[in-house]
Amino acid sequence: MNVDAAVAAVAAIAGLCTGVFAMLAFRWSERDQAKPTRTSLHTDAVLPPGVDTVLSVLRSSAVVLDEADSVVKASSAAYALGLVRGGKLAVEPMMQMARDTRRDGEIRQVELDLPRRGTGRGDALAVSARVAPLGSRLVLLLVEDLTEARRIEAVRRDFVANVSHELKTPVGALSLLSEAVMDASDDPEAVTRFAGRMQNEATRLTNLVQELIDLSRVQNDDPLEDAEPVRVDELVAEAVDRCRQQAGAKQITMAAGGTADLSVWGNRGQLAAALGNLVENAVNYSPARTRVGIAARRVAAPGGDLIELSVTDQGIGISEKDRDRIFERFYRVDPARSRATGGTGLGLAIVKHVAASHGGEVTVWSAEGQGSTFTLRLPEAGAVRDRERPADLAAEGLDDEDRPYETFNDPLPAHPAPEVLP
């Protein structure tokens, strides 16, 4: 009997222990399910019906907090921005806004600059946070990333400020010159002199407005809508003709060479404007009695062959500190010289946009006192390479790659390979 009683007692104790462990395991499971996760925290049990679906389609980062300031629901964008860590809202100003809203039920909104975590970048992350009550116990936080919008707005403000400044200069000059003409009405020589200066300022103003129109067009238009094969030799000839008068006045020799019968794919007007701007800059910034060269060649590339159009001058060159900024709008290496040549500071910005929109790039090599080489790389028109070689080349035993565009007695100055801008 004592043995049976002992066995029964042991069995009772074992059953009791099993029950206690089962209860503890159940409670532990409930606590584990209650922990916040990356996507949801007992969403179905806490969030009002339909809220989860609405939050999933919002573009803003969404975070739902309970009365204990724990995260009930957080979108993936909230984790990506670093707003939520370890089931808690990691931004103290937003947490305080949530507590205040939970206390008085008032909707709050604020713009904050948050540090970028883990990127090593010094710039801040600009966000707009809006907090509102969600039911009786929850608080909803919506966060909108404003960083890109602020950057675009800053670019727009700078552009408007620069345009205003550039327009004010020739307009003010025209106003003063017109007053001078009126005061010198009895002096024909002074009137002629002032009228000439007025004409120069009017030309400068016209060029500025036209380049603003061109820049707006290349930024907004899709060049592939009107794309066609464009012969490179025609683009070169048009660029040379455009600058022939300025080059002749400074006794600058313009030489075109390289591989003939090349074509690129794109918008003819935009491509002509881009190459023309490069040649015009080379002429304007070159001393008298020097040479400007334009060369074309085909280069192999992983995604298909490219056509390189290089414009080389023997001008003043560009310093290293200016080289990274010359493609910015209205940026001038030498403002005084730009005023003398009528430059607007938009020509290279137009070249950069045309190259990018055509799937190419523009690079520059330069050394102060030695000159510069601007290289425009554009995709080749594929059908051109399939054409048969001209009979005269075959008779002479020359390939298309070997045929010179034009023969020159003096070689162009040798420059190292252009470096690629970041």
Tell whether the torsion through CA atoms of 207, 212, 213 and 219 is positive or negative.
Answer: positive
CA-to-CA distance for 294 and 106, rounded, in angstroms? 68
* The pLDDT of residue 298: 92
User: Mean pLDDT per segment of 10 residues, for the chain of length 422 residues?
Assistant: 60 64 59 49 57 76 88 85 84 89 89 71 78 86 87 76 74 85 85 87 80 71 73 92 89 89 89 90 89 92 88 87 79 56 71 88 88 92 48 41 36 39 32
Structure tokens at 166: 């550039």
Contacts of 337 (CB under 8 A, 6+ apart): 285, 316, 343
* The pLDDT of residue 33: 52
* The pLDDT of residue 386: 43
Place of tokens 């801040």: 124
CA-to-CA distance for 390 and 325, rounded, in angstroms? 44
Structure tokens at 27: 């409670």
* The pLDDT of residue 23: 65
* The pLDDT of residue 311: 94
Q: What are phi and psi of 108, to 5 degrees?
A: -125, 150
